[in-house]
């Protein structure tokens, strides 16, 4: 029995040893892949930006004076009937959009005009009084000169001379008082004139008039509303020309010139392409976003461009250049909402080939090729298929 146990033990050890030899790991099999060399292609670089359609001018129309809204601008509606102005209506320049009840302001104007007339009458009376005072003063001057001569010749008594002096002094004082009264009346008349002008302006301000043609985009009053001074009644947009504003980094400023034509596309109008012109380039960057604001103006004669539409602007570089391009199948692991991707390049070590993950930033695509803005140089070898089966360091076998 001992011999049999020993033989069995040796056999078992041999079997286990054999099993151990068979379970040794030989490593993952290389993934067969296709590789290409990064080529270059002559392209005309361009950059795309998005912006929002804004009016050329936007004006908030407010009442200067308080009061009740007595009337609103009326126009023909879609059903052919006349109705009050509403949001979306196109308004001609000079249209009286709203009118306040004017009776109170008319009464103030009438009172001011009456006061002005009274002050004018008082001034005329003072002028007449001055004429009489000057005539009395002239007579008093002659009498005083005669009295002086008689008194010097001892032909007039002292009491008569003193009376002549007193009469002359009183006449002079009356004339001076008449002059001062006229000056006071003129001041009162000027005040009355100012009150009349102010009352007439206030009466005119009961009409709220459109300073330009445009579209009503906001309406805050209705017929019969009581409004306070400064209340914004309407917001009016001039959309005969519209603007698209967008921000660019400082590296783009060299490619932008005032007056340059740029293509603008609007998806809301079935991708319609228009041509705008750069009308403003900010002199300084926004302190928070660090981008420069660019303004592109578009003609809008048919009013088809509405405020708030999203527009795409394409800025093209004037000269073409050679840039690295790769097949789109080589891209992998995109970062959400960005142009940052990765590609697999080929690394050789100890006679073997491995996939090496490399970050790149892409530009525009041309058919099945995409421009590489950063991360790759012409001449590098990249893997163009089976990228979803690879990870950084995966063994590979190039089959083409």
The 10s digit of each residue's pLDDT in 82-111 is: 999 999 899 999 999 999 998 888 888 888
Q: What is the pLDDT of residue 110?
A: 87
Q: What is the rounded distance in angstroms from the CA atom of residue 385 to the CA atom of residue 398? A: 11
Burial class (CB in 10 A: 0-12, 13-18, 19+), 109: buried
What is the tens place of the pLDDT at every residue in 330-366? 998 765 556 789 999 999 998 899 999 999 988 877 7
DSSP annotation string for 279-345: EEE-SS--TTT--EEEEEEEE-TT--SPTT-EEEEEEE-SS-EEEEEEEGGG-B-PPTTSSEEEEEE
CB 319 within 8 A of CB 307: no
Q: What are the start-end ranges of the H helices in 84-238? A: 103-152, 158-204
Distance, CA of 53 to CA of 304 (rounded, Å): 11
Distances (CA, A) of 29 to 211, 274, 374, 392, 396: 79, 56, 32, 15, 8
pLDDT of residue 335: 58
DSSP-based helix, strand, coil % in the chain, nearest 5: 35, 40, 30
Backbone angles phi, psi at 44, to 5 degrees: -105, 105
Q: Are 296 and 278 in contact (CB under 8 A)?
A: yes
Contact present, 61 and 97 (Cβ < 8 Å): yes
Q: What is the pTM of this model?
A: 0.56
H helix or E strand, kind and range, residue 15 = helix 2-22
Q: Which long-range contacts (CB under 8 A, 24 or more apart) does 131-137 make?
A: 132/178, 133/171, 133/174, 133/175, 133/177, 133/178, 134/175, 134/178, 136/171, 136/174, 136/175, 137/171, 137/172, 137/174, 137/175
Averaged in consecutive runs of 10 residues, what is the pLDDT profile of the chain (400 residues)? 40 45 64 92 80 93 91 90 92 93 84 88 88 89 89 87 90 89 89 87 86 93 91 93 92 88 89 91 90 94 90 80 89 71 92 92 83 90 91 90
């Amino acid at each position: 029995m001992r011999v049999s146990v020993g033989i069995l033990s040796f056999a078992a050890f041999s079997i286990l040893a054999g099993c151990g030899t068979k379970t040794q790991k030989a490593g993952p099999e290389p993934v067969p892949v296709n590789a290409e060399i990064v080529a270059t292609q002559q392209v005309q670089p361009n950059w795309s930006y998005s912006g929002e359609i804004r009016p050329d001018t936007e004006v908030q129309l407010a009442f200067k004076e308080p009061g009740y809204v007595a009337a609103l601008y009326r126009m023909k509606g879609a059903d052919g009937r006349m109705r009050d102005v509403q949001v979306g209506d196109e308004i001609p320049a000079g249209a009286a959009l709203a009118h306040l009840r004017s009776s109170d302001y008319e009464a103030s104007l009438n009172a001011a005009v009456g006061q002005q007339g009274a002050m004018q009458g008082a001034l005329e009376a003072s002028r007449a009084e001055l004429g009489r005072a000057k005539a009395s003063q002239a007579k008093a001057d002659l009498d005083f000169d005669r009295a002086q001569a008689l008194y010097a010749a001892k032909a007039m008594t002292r009491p008569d001379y003193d009376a002549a002096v007193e009469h002359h002094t009183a006449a002079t004082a009356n004339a001076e008082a008449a002059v001062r009264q006229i000056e006071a009346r003129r001041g009162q008349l000027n005040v009355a004139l100012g009150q009349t002008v102010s009352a007439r302006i206030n009466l005119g301000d009961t009409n709220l008039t459109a300073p330009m043609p445009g579209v009503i985009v906001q309406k805050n009053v209705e017929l019969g509303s009581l409004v306070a001074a400064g209340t914004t009644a309407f917001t009016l947009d001039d959309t005969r020309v519209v603007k698209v504003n967008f921000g660019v980094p400082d590296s783009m400023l060299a490619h932008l010139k005032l007056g340059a034509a740029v293509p603008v596309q609007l998806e809301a109008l079935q991708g319609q392409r228009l041509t705008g012109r750069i009308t403003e380039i900010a002199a300084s960057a926004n302190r928070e976003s660090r981008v420069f604001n660019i303004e592109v103006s578009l003609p809008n004669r048919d009013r088809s461009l509405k405020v708030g539409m999203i527009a795409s602007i394409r800025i093209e570089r004037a000269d073409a250049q050679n840039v690295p391009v790769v097949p789109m199948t080589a891209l992998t692991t995109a970062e959400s909402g960005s142009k940052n991707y990765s590609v697999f390049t080929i690394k050789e070590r100890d006679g073997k080939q491995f996939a090496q993950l490399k970050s790149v930033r892409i530009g525009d695509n041309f058919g099945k090729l995409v421009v590489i803005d950063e991360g790759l140089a012409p001449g590098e070898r990249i893997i163009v298929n089976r990228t979803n089966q690879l990870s950084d360091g995966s063994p590979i076998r190039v089959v083409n």
